[in-house]
Structure 1
C-alpha cells in the first residue's frame, strides 16, 4: 500500500477474472490485460465534455492505443488474435472516440471500487498518479484555448483585410452548422474564448497550489519522522509551465487591442495579474527548515528556494538578498491576514548572520538562498496564559525579499514562514519543547490560523503519530502493534478496565499528553515515552528490530505469559515506573517449588552504556529461554573483542542477580532483585597463578557495583569467590621490562620508588609516587606543609595499612549489610 511503484493494475490483477471483467461489455477484458499499466496512465476520467479539446484528445488516445496494440502484436509469436482485437476496436470506436472513453472509465472506476473495498482507500501512489493526470489535463486544455485564441485572431485579421473571404467563410459555416471551426469570425466567440481561457487558467492554478499545499503538509509531517522523498523539481516544472501559459495569454490580451471592450480587457487583465501574483508568492518556500526546537546562542542552518527563479531571474539580473527574522504567533497571524508591513515594527528577537544572497544555479536549475551560520542571540517572550509554560510558546522564522520582475521591473515582496519553532534557553527544556512540536506537526490543519492546533485528538490519530515517531527515531521498520497501543492507552487514560476496542472512540487531550503527571508517577506520558524512545534509539535498536523485546506491556500481562512457562523463561519489557528503563521478567521457583515471576530492576542508559543488553542477558544464568521458546544463546551474541590500542590492560564487567529466595542472599530491595556488576582480575596466560599477584597486593581483586546505587564497593577475596568475574589481561604494556618473569607487587613498588628518587619525586614510605600541588584543595599558602611524622601517621604506617587492606572487604560487607 505504501510502495510508490505500485499501480492500479498490479493490485487488481490479483483479483478474480470475473470481478475484473464484469465492469463493461463494450471493452474486452483481454485488452485490459494486454494494455496493463498504460491504460491507467492516460487521463480518461477527466474527459467529461464534447468540446473540440475533449474530442481531439479522445481521438489521439484511440490512435495511441491502436499503436500500442500493434507493437504488442509484433512482439508476440502469435499476433493474429491481438491484431483481430485491434481491428475490432478501431472499427467500433473510430467514429465515436468518446464512447471508448466512457467504456474505459467504467473499467477503471470499477477497479478502484474494488480497491477501496479491500484497502478502505486508494493507495497513495494511485492518488498521486491521478492528481498528476488531472493537472496535465487542465494544462493541456488551457494551452489549447490559447491556440484557439491565436487562430481566431488571425482569422479576424484576414476577415478585416478581405471581406470577400469573410463572406465565403460565413457561407461554409451556414452549410456546416454542426462543425466546430477554429476560424470563427465572431467577436462574441473571441470574448467567450478569453473568458473560458481565464477560467481554465485559474482552475489549473488551483491544481498547482493544491499540490504545493500537499508538499507543505508532507514537510510538516516529516518533522515527526514521516518519510518525505518528494522532489521539488516536478512542482517547479508545474509552476514554470503555468507561468509560460499565463504570459502567452497576456500577450494575446495585449495584442487584441480594440477587439475587446475596455471593461472586458480590464477584467481579464486583473484576473491574469492575480494568477501570476499567486504563483510568484507560493513559489517562494522554505526548502530546508530551521530546527523546530531552537536553543539560543546556538548556530543553525536553513535554505529557502524560489521555484520560479530560474525562469524569471535569468542572467544578467540584479542580485537580490533574503533576510530572516524571528516573529511571534501574533505577528504570524498578521502576516496571514495580509498585513506584512506591520509585522516587523516590534522587535521580537535578534538573529545574527540573517542575510543571504538569492542565487541561481544553472547546473541544477535551482534558485536558493542558503543560511549557514545563523544564530538566535536573544528572544523576547510574549504574554502567555497562566496555564501555559515557556515550552508551549511558538514562534517562526520569516524569510523575506524584494525582487523586480518583468520588463516594467514590477516589485514583488516574497515571504515564506518556517514551521513553528519553540525557543529554549536550557537543555532541560528540550523534552517539553519536543512535545509541543510533535503535537503541532501531527495535528495542525492545512491553511490554519498560525499557530492554532486542536486541543483534543482521537486516540487512533495519536497511535499513528506515536508509531511513526518511534520508527523514525529508532530507524526501524518494526513499529508498534495493537497490544502496544492497548497498554499505552491504559497508561495515558489511567484506566486498566476498559476493553481495547473502546479506546478507539476516546479522545486524548494535550493536557493528558504532556501536562498532567501520570497516576502514581512524577512524569508525564510524553516524558516517559520519549525516555523509552531515546533508550531504544541508542542501545536497543537491533534487539527491537529483531523482535527480541516485547516492549510496551504491563506486568500483569507479562505474568500471564510467563507463569506457565518453564523455569528460566524470560522476556524484556519497557519499565512503566522509570523513565528510559528496560526490565527483564523471568520465571523462578519458590522454596516450596511453585513458580514465581520476578522482575529485575530496570536497566537504564547508564548501565547499558557500560554493559550491552546482550552481555547482561548472557551473564545471568537464571535466564535460559526467551519467551516463548527461543534459546537465548541463539539470539543474543557477545560483543567481539576490541583489539588493544592503548598501553592499558582492558577491564570488563559481568553482572549477577541475587535470588530473593536463596538462603545466602541478602534482603531483596523493593522492586525486585538487585543486579550487581562485578569486575574481576585475571592474568594473561603467560603469567603464573593470578592469586599470587592478588595476595601480594594485599587486597581483593573484585569489586561490586549495584544498579540503582552505582558505587564500586571493595569486597574480600573469599566472601564472594563464587561470583562470576571477567578478566584484566596483563600484557607487556609498561617499561618494567620483559614479561617472561613474575614480578611481585613489592618488586614493582620498589622499582617505582627508585625511579621516583632518581627523578627527584617525593616518595612516601610503602606507597606509590605521589605529587603534591603547591596549593591543593585551595589550602592557603601560609600553612606549612605537614611533617614527615604527620604524614606517616596519616598513612597508618605499614602494619596499619596492611591490616586495613586485608580486612577492607569484610568491613565493607558489614557496612553494606
Structure 2
C-alpha cells in the first residue's frame, strides 16, 4: 500500500463531516466555535436584527440580495416579501415574549424598508457575504495575515481609549464655558465698581473709604488677571490635547479605516467603523468650534476691560490661529469616499469601470455641520492633475458631474452625496492626434476619480478634496478578469491612495497574503472559501513545492501574465474561469462541499485506490479553462486499482444539463455490455444519492401527457484499444436498440463522451 500524502486523513474527515447533511448557511454558523459565532454577532444591529436572520433564514438565503442592493425595484419586492413572511411568523409565534419582540422589529423594519430599500438590501447582502467569509475562515482553522491585521486584539481597547479621551476633552471644553462665564461675571463686577469709583466726586478720592475702594479694585484686577491667565493656560492645554488626539489617534484611525476599506474591496472582512469615526470627528469639531467661540468671547471682554500686560491680547491671536488650523485640517480630512466607484452590474468587483456603463460612488463628510446642510456642492473630476505620460488612454465623464450633499437621516444624519449615474467615455483624439495604447496593458493602467467642494464656515474657507482608490478602466467585458487581478494586487500590497504608476514596477506578494485573498474570492463569489489543502495545491501549481512556505514571494507576472507551463493561459485566468464555472453552474454542489476541486492527479489516486469500487471525486480540470471532471476507481482483473476520468465538462455542456443530473444519469458502455452507472460513492464513502439527491432535477418525477425526454450522458469504455486513433463512431443501430430496451420508455438524446486522463 502506498503512503497517502500529508493531510489526506484530515480532509477526508472534514469532507465526510460536512457531507453528512446539507446545511444552510445559518445552520453552519450555529455549529461554529464560539469565537466565530461572536464575530457573526457583531454583524447584526438595529438595522437588521439577528432575530430576523434566525426566523427567516431560509427565505433570506434563497434571494439575490447582491443584485437587489443595486436595483431599487428588486430590493422593494424582496423586502416586501420579507416583511410579509415576518408578519406571518409573528402571527404563528406561540411564545408571548418572542411574538412581542417580533412585532416590534416588524414595525421598525417596515419603516426602514420603505425609507431606503437599497440601503436595507445592501445591509443584508453585506451580512450574508461576511457570514460566508467567517465560515471560510473557520474551515481553514487559522486566520491569514490580512485577517489578523483587520481584527487586531487591541482594537477594542484602542476604541475604548479613544471614546474616553474624546469624552474628557468635551468635558474640559464644557468646563471652560463655565470658566469664561465666571470670568465675564468677575469683569462685569470690576467694571461696575471701577466706573462707580470714577463717577465719585474728586474731593472724596483722598478719603479712607476711597483708598479702601481703590485697594479693593486693585485686588479685583489682580484676581481678574490671574483668572485670565489661568483660563488661557487651560485653553492652551485643551488645544494641545485636541492636537495630540488628532495626530496620534484620530488620523491613524481614519487611515486604518481606509486600509480596511481597501481589504474589504477585494473580499476581506465587512467594513465597519465609519459611524464611530463620524462620532469622534464630530465631537472633536464641536469642541474646537466651542473653543473658537470662547476665544471670540475673550476678544469681546478686552474691548471693555484691558490693562498693561493683559494676557488676552498677547496670547489669544496665536491660540485662535491654532484652533482655526485644527478646524481646517480636521474638516478637510473628514471628506472621504464612503463607497468606492462600482458598476451595479458587478457589485462585488469595485474599482473596475467599463466605458459606456453607469457606475456609482458616494462621498461623505464625517463632521456633522448643520450650518452647511444643503449647501455643499461636490464636483467629480476624472484623472485630475496627472503627470504627463502617466496614462495612455484619456477619458471624460459623460454625465452630470456636480451634486449637492444632503443629510442622510438613515445613516446617523451624516452629510453625504451619492453619484448613481456616472459614465465614462474615451477620448479617441487628444489635440487632434489619435491616442494609441502604450507599453502598459489596459488592465494595468490606473486612473483616479477626484471629488472637490468649497465652503466657508465661521470665517474659515475650506477646500475639500478626496479621491477614490485607483481605478481600472476597461472597454470590453473580456478585460474584466485582468482588471480584477490588478485591483486585487494593488489593494493587497499598498495603502497609497494614488500610486497610479504602481504597475510600472509592481511589488511581489507573499503566498500567505495572496492565498488568503484567493480564498476570499471563493467565499465572496461562490459562497465557500478554500481550505488549507486546496490552497496548498494552488500554491504548488503556481510556485512548485516551495509553496508550503507562507513567506514565499510571488511576482505579478507569475500570477497573472505568464502562461502556466505547457498551457496557453495564466494561473489567474485558469482560476477565474473556475470561479465563473462555479458561480454559474456548480454553486449548490460547491456550497454543499461535494467538490474537492483542487487536488492533483497523484493525490487523487492516493485517496481513491483503497476505496470501494465506484468511489469517485470531483476536481477541476488543470488542462481546460473552466472545466470539471470526475474520477472513479475500479478493480482490475489482477486486483489492482484502476482509475477512470471523464473528459472535463465546461460551461457549454453544463448549460444544457445540470451537473447533479449528469452524475445521477451517467452511464458507461463496456464492450457492448448493458450501460451502467459506475458512480456509487462520493469520496470518502457517501452514497451518491445521499450527496446529490436534493439537487436532482425533479421534473422527471412529474406526470406529463407525453413521454418525457431525458439527456443521458454516456461514455464508451473499451477493454481493448481501438484499431486506430480516430474518434469514436456514432452508436450503431443495434446498440441504440439495446439501450432503448433497457431504458424504455425514455427517449434518449445521447452525448458521447470518452473516458479521459489529464
Same topology, TM > 0.5: yes
1:260 counterpart = 2:314: no
Residue of structure 2 equivalent to 1:514: 560
Cα distance in 2, alignment partners of residues 136 and 233 from structure 1: 13
Normalised TM-score (structure 1): 0.60
Q: CA deviation at 1:131?
A: 2.7
Equivalent in 400, 414, 419 of residue 464 of structure 2: 414
SS of equivalent residue, structure 1 residue 352 = coil
SS of 1:290's partner is strand
Q: 2:423 is paired with a residue of what secondary structure?
A: strand
1:210 shift after superposition? 2.8
1:248 corresponds to which residue?
A: 290
1:376 equivalent among 403, 414, 424: 424
* Aligned match for 1:298, one of 341, 345, 357: 357
Q: 1:348–1:422: structure 2 CA closer, same or farther, 3 Å change rule?
A: same
The correspondence of residues 257-296 of structure 1 with structure 2, limited to 5 A, is: 257=299, 260=311, 262=313, 264-291=315-342, 292-296=351-355
Change in Cα spacing, 1:425 to 1:587, as seen in structure 2 (3 Å) is: same
Tell me which residue corresponds to 2:714: 656
Determine the C-alpha separation between the residues in 2 that align with 1:592 and 1:567: 14
Q: Give the distance between the partners of 2:389 and 2:177, measured in 1 at CA.
A: 44
1:403 partner SS: strand
Q: Shift of residue 169 of structure 1?
A: 13
* Cα distance in 2 between the residues matched to 1:381 and 1:555: 53
* Alignment CA distance shift 1:141-1:617 (3 Å): same
1:248 and 1:333 mapped to 2: Cα distance?
48
Show the counterpart of 2:162: 135
Pairing 1:445–2:495 present? yes
Secondary structure of 1:442's aligned partner: helix
2:633 paired residue among 587, 600, 604 = 587
The SS at the match of 1:285 is strand
Distance 1:158 1:325, change over 3 A: closer
- Specify which of 389, 394, 418 is matched with residue 446 of structure 2: 394
Q: Is the alpha carbon distance of 1:381 and 1:324 closer, same or farther for their aligned partners in structure 2, counting shifts above 3 Å? A: farther
Structure with greater helix share of residues: 2
* Max Rg structure: 1
Verify the 8 A CA contact 1:484 1:551 in the aligned structure 2.
Answer: yes
Pick aligned residue for 1:356 from 392, 403, 406 = 403
**Partner of residue 699, structure 2:** 641
Go from structure 1 to structure 2 and tell me whether the alpha carbon gap of 1:133 and 1:246 turns closer, same or farther (over 3 Å shift): same
1:566 and 2:612 matched:
yes
Q: Residues 283 and 307 of structure 1 are in contact (CA less than 8 Å); yes or no, is this contact kept in structure 2? A: yes
- 1:618 aligned partner: 664
TM value normalised by structure 2: 0.64
Are residue 195 (structure 1) and residue 236 (structure 2) matched?
yes
Q: Runs of 5+ in structure 1 lacking a partner?
A: 9-115, 172-182, 335-342, 675-705, 707-712, 731-808, 810-817
SS at match of 2:699: coil
Partner of 2:176: 149
- Secondary structure at the aligned position of 2:422 is classed as strand
After TM superposition, the structure 1 = structure 2 runs for residues 203-222 of structure 1, keeping only pairs within 5 Å, are 203-206=244-247, 207-222=249-264
Q: CA deviation at 1:648?
A: 9.5
In 1: Cα distance, 2:315 partner to 2:744 partner: 93
For residues 69-106 of structure 1, the C-alpha deviation after alignment (integer angstroms, 9 at most, x for no partner) is xxxxxxxxxxxxxxxxxxxxxxxxxxxxxxxxxxxxxx
Please say if residues 396 and 427 of structure 2, whose CA atoms lie closer than 8 Å, have aligned partners that are also in contact. Answer: yes
Equivalent-residue separation in structure 1 for 2:382 and 2:621 (angstroms): 40
Between the aligned partners of 2:484 and 2:234, the Cα distance in structure 1 is: 54
Q: Distance between the aligned counterparts of 2:571 and 2:663, measured in 1?
A: 29
2: CA distance, partners of 1:451 / 1:647: 66
What is the CA deviation profile of residues 415-452 of structure 1, one whole-angstrom value per residue up to 9, with x for unaligned ones?
22122211111222121111101111222225674564
Q: Residues 280, 154 of structure 1: CA spacing in aligned structure 2 closer, same or farther, 3 A cutoff?
A: closer
For residues 275 and 647 of structure 1, the distance between their equivalents in structure 2, rounded to whole angstroms, comes to 80
Structure 1 residue 386 displacement after superposition: 6.9
Distance 2:41 2:156 in 1: 9
Provide the rounded CA distance (Å) in 2 between the counterparts of 1:321 and 1:577.
Answer: 54
With over 3 angstroms needed to count, the CA separation of the structure-2 counterparts of 1:297 and 1:170, relative to structure 1, is closer
Asked if structure 1 preserves the Cα contact closer than 8 Å seen for 2:526 and 2:579, the reply is yes
Partners of 2:229 and 2:389 lie apart in 1 by: 45
Deviates more, 1:194-203 or 1:437-446: 437-446
1:269 CA drift (Å): 2.1
Pair 1:396–1:587, CA change in 2 (3 A): same
Measured in 1, the distance between the counterparts of 2:723 and 2:691 equals 32
* 8 A contact 2:446–2:500 mirrored in 1: no
Match of 1:308 among 344, 349, 367: 367
Q: Aligned in 2, Cα 1:462/1:138: closer, same or farther, shift over 3 Å?
A: same
Aligned residue pairs, count: 548
Go from structure 1 to structure 2 and tell me whether the alpha carbon gap of 1:358 and 1:642 turns closer, same or farther (over 3 Å shift): farther
Deviation at 1:156, TM superposition (A): 4.6
Tell me which moved more, 509-518 or 147-156.
147-156
Shift in alpha-carbon separation, 1:541–1:121, aligned structure 2, 3 A: closer
Following TM superposition, by how much is the alpha carbon of 1:721 offset from its aligned partner in structure 2, in angstroms?
Answer: 3.0
Structure 1 residue 552, shift from structure 2 partner: 1.0
Q: Is the 8 A contact 2:232 2:312 kept in 1?
A: no
Match of 2:206 in 1: none
- Residue 362 and residue 427 in structure 1: after superposition, are their counterparts in 2 closer, same or farther (change >3 A)? closer
The Cα of 1:201 is off from its aligned counterpart by 0.9
Give the distance between the partners of 2:610 and 2:494, measured in 1 at CA.
47
Return the alpha-carbon distance in structure 2 between the equivalents of residues 224 and 166 of structure 1.
Answer: 70
Going from structure 1 to structure 2, the CA distance change for 1:472 and 1:362 (only over 3 Å counts) comes to closer
CA distance, structure 1, for counterparts of residue 166 and residue 295 of structure 2: 19
The Cα shift of 1:722 comes to 3.8
**1:668-720 Cα shifts (integer Å, max 9, x gaps):** 88xxxx9xxxxxxxxxxxxxxxxxxxxxxxxxxxxxxx9xxxxxx97554233
Cα distance between partner residues in 2 of 1:349 and 1:611? 45
Q: Given the superposition, is the C-alpha separation of residues 302 and 549 from structure 1 closer, same or farther in structure 2, using an over 3 Å criterion?
A: same
Which residue in 2 is equivalent to 1:718? Answer: 734
Residue among 511, 536, 540 paired with 1:490: 540
